[in-house]
Chains A and B, each alone.
Chain A
Amino acid sequence: DTAVSQTPKYLVTQMGNDKSIKCEQNLGHDTMYWYKQDSKKFLKIMFSYNNKELIINETVPNRFSPKSPDKAHLNLHINSLELGDSAVYFCASSQHQRLFFGSGTQLSVL
């Protein structure tokens, strides 16, 4: 069983479109995250949710809206996609200790 799973793995779309990435964890963790990894492999935290409540929003444009329907799910919706949004997006979860990552969603905005 995959501990942290995110879909889709690849997402290719046009500028201006709206898209969503879904994430689910079956580890029973209270905290979930979204990270963005750019072409230089730099991993930057975007959001952190604890028990469905937003804890961190790290200077992310408001075109990005996370939604946590329950503590096992944290989805990321992106409005009006821009070229600079192209990156790999990772979902992760933790319970005070190490982070467990999903396999990533490679977003390409054309």
Chain B
Amino acid sequence: GESVGLHLPTLSVQEGDNSIINCAYSNSASDYFIWYKQESGKGPQFIIDIRSNMDKRQGQRVTVLLNKTVKHLSLQIAATQPGDSAVYFCAERSNTGNQFYFGTGTSLTVIP
């Protein structure tokens, strides 16, 4: 889809609080999902991934939840820190090939 008319969603959280970032994906045939973090002036960096046969996966301070019924992903960040301030993207991979499509992104600001 195109970005015309879309605005980057924003989320502000207090340092130490938990953050939840949501993403709706489009293709029910997607078999693999990834969350990326993009800091200013840098390329997106991998945070955590999940396959479509799972509904939850935990990493260090991060948890990804997958709800295939409503095509929804969420990223939970525990004890959010100032270094977590960035734009976060979800990406889905089509099961027909090695193609990754990105969601709109959410800008997270952590207030010290």
Residues from 71 to 97 in A contacting B, C-beta threshold 8 Å: 90, 92, 94, 96-97
Whether B112 is near chain A, meaning CB under 8 Å from some CB there, is: no
Query: What's the Cα separation between A56 and B100 when bound, in Å?
Result: 11
| Cβ–Cβ contact A99 & B3, under 8 A | no
Among candidates A38, A43, A45, residue contacting B44 with C-beta atoms closer than 8 Å? A43
Among candidates B8, B43, B49, B99, residue contacting A40 with C-beta atoms closer than 8 Å? B8
Query: What's the Cα separation between A4 and B38 when bound, in Å?
Result: 15
Interface size on A, residues (CB 8 A): 27
Query: B92-103, CB under 8 A of A: which get 1 and which 0?
Result: 000001111110
Chain A residue at smallest Cβ distance from B89: A43
Residues from 41 to 58 in A contacting B, C-beta threshold 8 Å: 41-45, 48, 50, 55-56
Among candidates A43, A96, A100, A101, residue contacting B105 with C-beta atoms closer than 8 Å? A43
SS class, residues of chain A in contact with chain B:
strand
Residues from 1 to 28 in B contacting A, C-beta threshold 8 Å: 2-3, 6-8
Chain A residue at smallest Cβ distance from B5: A40
Q: Which residues of B contact A33 (CB under 8 A)?
A: 100
| Cβ–Cβ contact B98 & A98, under 8 A | no
| Cβ–Cβ contact B100 & A99, under 8 A | yes
Min Cβ gap A79→B in Å is 23
Query: What's the Cα separation between A48 and B94 when bound, in Å?
Result: 13
- 6 intermolecular pairs with C-beta atoms under 8 Å apart: A40-B6, A43-B89, A43-B102, A48-B98, A99-B34, A104-B42
Query: Chain B: residues with CB nearer than 8 A to chain A?
Result: 2-3, 6-8, 32, 34, 36, 38, 41-46, 49, 87, 89, 91, 97-102, 104-105, 107
Query: Chain A: residues with CB nearer than 8 A to chain B?
Result: 4, 31, 33, 35, 38, 40-45, 48, 50, 55-56, 90, 92, 94, 96-104
